[in-house]
Amino acid sequence: MEKSWKSRENLNKNELAKLEKDGLEILKELDALAKKEYSEIDPMDIERLKWAGIYTQRPKNGKFLIRVKLPSGKLNTSQAKVIAGISKDYGEDSIQITIRQCIQIHNLTLQDMPDIFQRLHEAHLTSVEGCGDVPRNVLGNPLAGVDPEELFDTTEVVEQIVEELVGNPEFSNLPRKYKISVSANPGDCGFAQINDLAFVPAILRSKTGTEQGFHIYVGGGLSKEPHLAQKLPFFIRKEEAVAVARGVGIIFREYGYRENRGHCRLKYLLDDWGVDAFAKKLNEIAGPFTTGGRTIARKWNRGVFHGIHRQKQEGLFYAGLLIPSGSMEASDLVALAELSEKYGDGQLRTTNSQNIVILNIPEQKRNEFRKEPLVKKYTIKPDTFTGNAASCTGNQYCSFAPIETKKRLKSIVEAMNERFPELKEPFRINLTGCVHACAHPQLADIGLTGGRAKENGEAVDVFTIRIGGALGKEAGFAEVLAGRVSEYHIIDAIGEMIAYYVEHREGKELFYQYVRRTGAEQFQKIVDKYALAA
């Protein structure tokens, strides 16, 4: 494919490497790389391994993670067992559900990869383009097809987009990652506005009747400079979704920035072009599209589906189980797969809240299901704070991380469960290890970003605090409070903020709603009491 950008000035070093050899080429070289020592491998080939879904982990000594992509979180029992088998044989018996519905296996070596790829292939699974400057896992409604609230089933749309984009050399050299979300659930379980392209449910009324389809958002993303995606004016029919995904991919590929690596995401192009120019170009490339329609939206459901609930199919239920921080032993994934065979029809889903849903449980089996020991371990009825919290990988595996995250978050949410047992409304505390914001601190009621600093001469973990984030109908990023609070005071600082909210809120007002109504001043005063001296 002609690379129209190849003679641009100031291309960054990743761009030069991609022009030299496309990331997808690495797939043909995996067997040869598996025979080499880590130190012998060209660092740019290590970078290209991302196109195979293989990523270096901390410490950078030859251990890798593999990210298995599960579009819309779809997983069956035999696939779950294959993933668990890989983890048992090569990955120290643990798996990690990610915030894009993938499953990661850590502690792998390149020598393990040929067998791992063979097993994934046989199970109709893939890690291809799990990482890298490519279309990432297509996020979707984990309940697609069974969701009583969805406007329509989005399974086919997700499958078509994956089929068209993934592994396609037309889209294997983008300026940065390309994140797509597709959901027809009105509670925004696809976290639409933090994606590069998102499809949300919409209806269009005309003289001939009412049509169901999508509205679309473009240019969202978090990290250091978070942007909420902007709505384009089109009403997109289901059969037009692939053209839209291609069209946005083409705009990104041809016009996206490739110079300063920190300024290459689609959001920066949208900033400079504006929504009207972007919509015009998309219409030219992939349209023409109809305009108008009405978005179907209600309060954000945070991608959380705990409990046992009715499906749209008469007499069938789904069960949402809490997987704390998305981490579990591989043997437990096998056991969950067996539960889904015993009580359902062997279909599971991963969620972007890092949990698991088991589908198609008949009404008469619900009570037996509840009594299973595994359903006690991975509860369907978590405490308020535990059930809504999220953390990133942290310094256990991530080379960017200055701090440990999962145990820290556990200690914080358990303390809050204990202090506020009467609080039943959802409350999201997210802890992310660094500014890359993988655990979405900007979307939390209270979002924490970790760092290291000295307090009284001692090097300690410290946290920047944000408050008041949400998506869905009330999408808005959390506001950053000034100052950083150390590990010794963070529980008391958060506890005091929540106590203040509980005392002053109106009715069942959620924390982010309270913050937006009253402002951040009171919470800043609380943080000031605990913050490190400037």
> What is the rounded distance in angstroms from the CA atom of residue 99 to the CA atom of residue 411?
21
Among residues 329, 436, 495, 500, which is the contact residue for ligand SF4, using CB under 6 A?
Answer: 436
> What is the rounded distance in angstroms from the CA atom of residue 114 to the CA atom of residue 94?
20
Per CB under 6 A, which of residues 97..136 are in contact with ligand SF4? none
How many residues are listed for the chain in this entry?
534
Taking the complex as a whole, how short is the minimal distance between the CB of residue 402 and ligand SF4, in angstroms? 7
- Residue linked to tokens 């983008």: 174
Could you tell me the two tokens for 79?
A: 């696939």
Taking the complex as a whole, how short is the minimal distance between the CB of residue 150 and ligand SF4, in angstroms? 30
Is residue 350 close enough to count as binding ligand SF4 by CB under 6 A? no
What DSSP character marks residue 170? G
Taking the complex as a whole, how short is the minimal distance between the CB of residue 345 and ligand SF4, in angstroms? 34
Is residue 161 close enough to count as binding ligand SF4 by CB under 6 A? no
> What is the rounded distance in angstroms from the CA atom of residue 131 to the CA atom of residue 37?
22
Q: How many CB atoms lie within 10 A of CB 195?
A: 25
Q: What is the DSSP string of 82-147?
A: HHHHHHHHHSTTEEEE-TTS-EEEEEE-GGGHHHHHHHHHHTT-B-TTSSSSSB---EE-TTTTT-
From 177-185, 206-214, 396-404, 455-463, give the range in contact with ligand SF4 by CB under 6 A: 396-404
Using the minimum distance from each CB to ligand SF4, give the nearer residue, 412 or 437. Answer: 437
Using the minimum distance from each CB to ligand SF4, give the nearer residue, 71 or 447. Answer: 447
Using the minimum distance from each CB to ligand SF4, give the nearer residue, 123 or 409. Answer: 409
Residues in the interface with ligand SF4 (CB under 6 A) total: 12
Taking the complex as a whole, how short is the minimal distance between the CB of residue 196 and ligand SF4, in angstroms? 18
Annotate each residue in 438-457 with x if it binds ligand SF4 (CB under 6 A) or - if it does not, as one string: x-------------------
Could you tell me the two tokens for 198?
A: 């998102």
Taking the complex as a whole, how short is the minimal distance between the CB of residue 432 and ligand SF4, in angstroms? 4
Q: How far is CA 327 from the centre of its chain?
A: 15
Is residue 213 close enough to count as binding ligand SF4 by CB under 6 A? no
The burial class, CB within 10 Å (0-12 / 13-18 / 19+), for 283 is middle
Is residue 393 close enough to count as binding ligand SF4 by CB under 6 A? yes
User: Which is nearest to 117 in space by CA: 129, 108, 125, 105?
Assistant: 125
> What is the rounded distance in angstroms from the CA atom of residue 504 to the CA atom of residue 221?
33
Among residues 387, 433, 469, 483, which is the contact residue for ligand SF4, using CB under 6 A?
Answer: 433
Taking the complex as a whole, how short is the minimal distance between the CB of residue 195 and ligand SF4, in angstroms? 17
From 26-34, 121-129, 309-317, 387-395, give the range in contact with ligand SF4 by CB under 6 A: 387-395
> What is the rounded distance in angstroms from the CA atom of residue 318 to the CA atom of residue 334?
18
Using the minimum distance from each CB to ligand SF4, give the nearer residue, 361 or 389. Answer: 389
Is residue 325 close enough to count as binding ligand SF4 by CB under 6 A? no
From 28-36, 128-136, 431-439, 510-518, give the range in contact with ligand SF4 by CB under 6 A: 431-439
Residue nearest to ligand SF4 (CB): 433
Residue 519 three-state SS: coil
Is residue 434 close enough to count as binding ligand SF4 by CB under 6 A? yes
Among residues 401, 446, 481, 531, which is the contact residue for ligand SF4, using CB under 6 A?
Answer: 401
Is residue 400 close enough to count as binding ligand SF4 by CB under 6 A? yes
Per CB under 6 A, which of residues 191..210 are in contact with ligand SF4? none
Taking the complex as a whole, how short is the minimal distance between the CB of residue 465 and ligand SF4, in angstroms? 16
Among residues 116, 398, 409, 515, which is the contact residue for ligand SF4, using CB under 6 A?
Answer: 398
Residue 360 three-state SS: strand
Is residue 494 close enough to count as binding ligand SF4 by CB under 6 A? no
Q: Residue type for 313, please?
A: Q
Whether residue 233 has a cis bond before it, omega within 30° of 0: no
Taking the complex as a whole, how short is the minimal distance between the CB of residue 46 and ligand SF4, in angstroms? 17
Taking the complex as a whole, how short is the minimal distance between the CB of residue 94 and ligand SF4, in angstroms? 16
> Strand pairing of 390-391 and 429-432?
parallel
From 83-91, 390-398, 482-490, 491-499, give the range in contact with ligand SF4 by CB under 6 A: 390-398
Q: Which residues pair with 236 in a beta bridge?
A: 214
What DSSP character marks residue 217? E
> Strand pairing of 234-235 and 327-329?
unpaired
Output Rg (C-alpha) for the chain, integer angstroms. Answer: 23
Cα atoms found within 13 Å of the Cα of residue 514, Cβ hemisphere only: 23
Q: Number of helices (H) and strands (E), helices first, in the chain?
A: 17, 23
> What is the rounded distance in angstroms from the CA atom of residue 346 to the CA atom of residue 338?
8
From 154-162, 386-394, 417-425, 512-520, give the range in contact with ligand SF4 by CB under 6 A: 386-394
> Strand pairing of 429-432 and 446-455?
parallel
Taking the complex as a whole, how short is the minimal distance between the CB of residue 58 and ligand SF4, in angstroms? 9
Backbone angles phi and psi of 347, in degrees to 5: -105, 130
From 22-30, 326-334, 412-420, 434-442, give the range in contact with ligand SF4 by CB under 6 A: 434-442
Taking the complex as a whole, how short is the minimal distance between the CB of residue 398 and ligand SF4, in angstroms? 3
Taking the complex as a whole, how short is the minimal distance between the CB of residue 397 and ligand SF4, in angstroms? 8
Q: How many CB atoms lie within 10 A of CB 85?
A: 17
From 33-41, 95-103, 256-264, 433-441, give the range in contact with ligand SF4 by CB under 6 A: 433-441
Is residue 432 close enough to count as binding ligand SF4 by CB under 6 A? yes
Q: Which residues bind ligand SF4 (CB under 6 A)?
A: 392-394, 398, 400-401, 432-434, 436-438
